[in-house]
């Protein structure tokens, strides 16, 4: 199946969910969606019923999110919606003899249980432990069946989302650019040439505040969150001053964990 066909199916799925939520006056939820899938919804909102749309991934900085198609007029904000999201803590039974476990290891172990990627949200790793967000319908299955990651025996337990404490770790980056164009700022963030980034932008792999951006000359605003598939994610803090040569001094916070 090519990407165009997949996108067409997703668009139809969004339309079906929105119409059902509107007609029945209820909230209907999607699976977890990646940034590209979330961006597709933004691009077709003018074709959808005039209802409220919310997105949430289990915690404030989540990248993969579940969309809520809200046909219930009494609900006005995210805080009023009970998303079907559960948090699972995964930790080695014996930390002393544990393998070094990465995000890929945890995700691979979960998918090897036969679980669809759309049922799994973000996985946050912290010192050889992980916190996994998933749809509530499969949480008990994961907690019962996920007993090993790589060669390490692990314990999986469902926890309350409020017990998940996440403080992003950033690397502060400063630099100068001739303009606040997207490609210029990406080159500072990832220490690479603007020309090498052109294909990523044109290929739909760069997202600003969860929306795909296809223009090299897109102008970032303070506190925009930029994600580049395969490279990473950062916050554009803003411009501090203009140098004598007319260049802009910028600051970036690059996510490292």
Instruction: Output the pLDDT for position 208.
Output: 94
Distance CA 254, CA 190 (A): 9
Instruction: Output the pLDDT for position 18.
Output: 96
Structure tokens at 180: 């606040």
Instruction: Output the pLDDT for position 3.
Output: 54
Distance CA 244, CA 28 (A): 55
Structure tokens at 225: 């969150």
Domain with CATH 3.10.290.10 in the chain: 170-255
Domain 170-255 has CATH 3.40.640.10: no
Which class is 3-80 in CATH? alpha beta
Domain with CATH 3.30.1370.160 in the chain: 3-80
Q: What is the pLDDT along the chain (257 residues), one digit of tens a residue?
A: 455 788 899 999 999 999 999 999 999 999 999 998 998 988 888 899 999 999 999 998 899 999 999 999 998 888 899 999 999 999 999 988 888 999 999 999 999 999 999 999 999 998 889 999 999 999 999 999 999 999 999 999 999 988 898 888 899 999 999 999 999 999 999 998 888 888 899 999 999 998 899 999 999 999 999 999 989 999 999 998 888 888 999 999 999 87
**Beta-strand (E) ranges in the chain?**
27-33, 52-56, 65-70, 85-92, 120-126, 129-135, 148-149, 152-159, 170-177, 206-208, 211-212, 224-228, 232-242, 248-255
> What global pTM score does this model have?
0.85
Domain with CATH 3.30.70.330 in the chain: 85-163
Nearest in space to 87 (alpha carbons), one of 117, 57, 49: 57
Instruction: Output the pLDDT for position 119.
Output: 98
Which class is 85-163 in CATH? alpha beta
Instruction: Output the pLDDT for position 1.
Output: 44
Instruction: Output the pLDDT for position 2.
Output: 54
């Amino acid at each position: 199946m090519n990407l165009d066909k997949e996108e067409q199916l997703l668009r139809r799925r969004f339309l079906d969910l929105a119409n059902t939520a509107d007609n029945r006056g209820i909230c209907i939820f999607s699976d977890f969606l990646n940034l590209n899938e979330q961006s597709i919804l933004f691009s077709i909102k003018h074709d959808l019923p005039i209802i409220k749309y919310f997105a949430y991934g289990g915690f404030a900085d989540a990248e993969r999110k579940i969309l809520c198609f809200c046909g219930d007029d009494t609900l006005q904000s995210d805080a009023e919606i009970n998303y079907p999201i559960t948090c699972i803590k995964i930790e080695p039974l014996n930390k002393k003899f544990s393998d070094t476990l990465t995000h890929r290891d945890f995700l691979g172990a979960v998918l090897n249980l036969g679980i669809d990627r759309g049922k799994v949200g973000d996985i946050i790793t912290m010192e050889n432990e992980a916190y996994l967000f998933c749809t509530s319908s499969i949480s008990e299955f994961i907690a019962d069946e996920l007993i090993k990651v790589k060669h390490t025996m692990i314990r999986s337990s469902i926890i309350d989302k409020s017990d998940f404490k996440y403080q992003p770790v950033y690397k502060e980056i400063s630099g100068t650019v001739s303009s606040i164009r997207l490609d210029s700022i990406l080159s500072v963030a990832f220490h690479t040439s603007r020309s090498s980034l052109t294909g990523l932008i044109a290929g739909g792999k760069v997202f600003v505040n969860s929306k795909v951006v296809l223009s090299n000359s897109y102008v970032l605003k303070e506190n925009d969150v930029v994600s580049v598939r395969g490279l990473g994610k950062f916050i554009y803090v803003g411009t501090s001053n203009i140098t004598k040569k007319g260049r802009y001094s910028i600051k970036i916070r690059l996510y490292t964990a």
